[in-house]
Amino acid sequence: MQTIKTLKARKRIALIAHDHKKAELIEWATYNKTVLSRHELYATGTTGKLIEEALDVSVRKLLSGPLGGDQQIGALVAEGALDVIIFFWDPMEALPHDPDIKALLRLGVVWNIPVACNRASADFLLTSPLMHQDYEVILPDYTQYLQRKV
């Protein structure tokens, strides 16, 4: 059984960056301010504060990543309350909340939503015509899993 979910033209976008990647995300977001301001922005705490200051746009700020922010974003993805994840994670540093980071990225795949983890991918994503129109996501079929015998 195939299930479809519609990502609306006005997307709910999560913006997240690790400390060594924050400058890059802020620069990218500033460059793309006009496009981003057409959508609804969410972020982990510190990233969100920096984006609000730099772009003068309103961002729904969750907790800071290591304090549970990644998990809050993950929960929103699982509930279908977020459409896109832009997450500049740091490939050069192990962080105390690595399990949370992995869990968030995993949920992006589980729910088949667009996820960009570096600037080039974020550029491709934001310039896609699909960013600005309704898009039907085909949800993976988890029926067999849900109906498994335990």
Ligand X SMILES: O=C(CO)COP(=O)(O)O
Please list the active-site residues.
70
Nearest distance in Å: CB 7, ligand X: 23
The residue within the footprint of ligand X, chosen from 11, 12, 18, 21 (CB under 6 A), is 18
> Which amino acid belongs to residue 122?
A
Is residue 147 within 8 Å of 9, Cβ to Cβ? Answer: no
Both tokens assigned to 142: 């988890």
Question: Is residue 108 close enough to count as binding ligand X by CB under 6 A?
Answer: no
Taking the least distance from each CB to ligand X, the nearer of 65 and 114 is 65
Site for ligand X in 40-79 (CB under 6 A): 44-47, 64-66, 69-70
Nearest to ligand X by Cβ — which residue?
Answer: 65
Nearest distance in Å: CB 108, ligand X: 13
- HSE (side-chain half, CA atoms, 13 Å) at 59: 26
The position carrying tokens 């301010």 is 33
Four-CA torsion 128, 11, 121, 2, nearest 10 degrees: -80
Taking the least distance from each CB to ligand X, the nearer of 27 and 141 is 27
